[in-house]
Structure 1
């Protein structure tokens, strides 16, 4: 038995709708299929945040007068590194068995004097603030918000450090 003429256009429309509905998924899969051609722009920021946290932790262990401030700074910069790492991994998912794309920094030694240690913290945080502020304008909106937040956090830390 042959389908009636009235049912043919419905079948064609449904099939066309399915094809159109699948097109965005195919485009996304094609765009996500290959390896990124260049390193993620957030990698240097995440690496710097981890390094700043390591420096702050070393200073907290060595200089008791700076310990509380250094620990707070380490916690803030660790949070920055984690947020940036999550975004990096969202864009380029990695196997959980693989090491993080942002490696842990080498152990740091604190500067010998408290003044030099405080200056080192200021310099590190200022660099993190500038680095992230410069990058914001070149990022898509969803990433710019994250990086602007890191920049603002570093600016706040600079105020605390004086």
Structure 2
């Protein structure tokens, strides 16, 4: 997000600006002299994102230190360092956006875990997911992407998968219009992903059969759950299109892998959009799980398609360069 600062280009205040400044100063003076408390003009409450920011910084440092040994280990841990450094930058920007006091000292959630970068990364993922229910919408989108980025990076080290949430989406009986529209868009991405997985079977050899089956099954489940959610809330799910137009036509194994990677990225974008347009906890939990799942599957397809970055730091939130 760009912050635009307007400047007049003049070195001093003119008479009108001076009078306006005096007027606002007068309005700011309390009318009652019995008040004993004063405020700084900032929200002085601890920012819940600050621990996540400090945790990301510490884990980026840890990963840099551990990026030694075999080339395979060095490359994987270096990716983790890049991902967590990007998280720290995005989280710090959001903390500072609210103009809260930002002391440099302070404890972060445990990052070392005995030097196990994968265990600490799994903890960071879980910390971010645990924070989601109480966040405002725009912050839920950011923190959901951070959790998804951690989960995706864990795929490089075969880290532990997050626990499957136990959800009854049919318990949601009402949706705000913007939430329903975001769910319809996510559903559209799921329809497209199912179609893409079916398409690429003819272009990929047997080594990919397991990945295709798992990915297709996951998107069918997401599709069905999303349709049930919309229906229970009195909305009519939009049907799938007969076919979808791909920006890069599938003609061989390489283009097939790129198509699947793109479908996973589109699904992540759709579910990130839901996070930014709902306060309903069941919907938010469902969307976060779908975002994480798409991001983790996407890593393997991006590797097969030789796309970079291998792990987009903020899945669903950013446009990545290939």
Task: State which of 194, 197, 202 in structure 2 corresponds to 1:61.
Answer: 202
Q: Distance in 1 between matches of 2:244 and 2:214?
A: 17
Q: Cα gap change, 1:159/1:143 in structure 2, threshold over 3 Å: closer, same or farther?
A: same
Q: Which has the higher helix share?
A: 1
1:159 equivalenced with 2:299 (yes/no):
yes
CA contact (8 A) 1:49 1:78 kept: yes
1:104 equivalenced with 2:245 (yes/no):
no
Q: Cα gap change, 1:60/1:79 in structure 2, threshold over 3 Å: closer, same or farther?
A: same
Task: State which of 127, 148, 161 in structure 1 corresponds to 2:288.
Answer: 148
Task: State which of 111, 115, 138 in structure 1 corresponds to 2:277.
Answer: 138
Q: Cα gap change, 1:46/1:88 in structure 2, threshold over 3 Å: closer, same or farther?
A: same
- Bigger-Rg structure (1/2): 1
1:76 equivalenced with 2:218 (yes/no):
yes
1:28-75 CA distance string (max 9 Å, x none) = xxx97xxx8675431111111011111111111342243332222111
Which 5+ residue runs of structure 2 have no aligned equivalent?
Answer: 1-172, 304-322
Q: Distance in 1 between matches of 2:213 and 2:201?
A: 6
Q: Distance in 2 between matches of 1:153 and 1:51?
A: 16
Q: Distance in 2 between matches of 1:137 and 1:40?
A: 12
Q: Aligned-pair RMSD on alpha carbons? A: 2.6
Q: Distance in 1 between matches of 2:284 and 2:210?
A: 31
Q: Distance in 2 between matches of 1:121 and 1:105?
A: 17
| Greater mean alpha carbon deviation, residues 120-129 or residues 39-48 | 39-48
TM-score by length of 2: 0.35
Question: Residue 127 of structure 1: CA displacement?
Answer: 1.8
Which SS does the other structure have where 1:41 is aligned?
Answer: helix
Which segments of structure 1 move beyond 4 Å, counting only runs of 4 or more? 36-39
TM-score by length of 1: 0.65
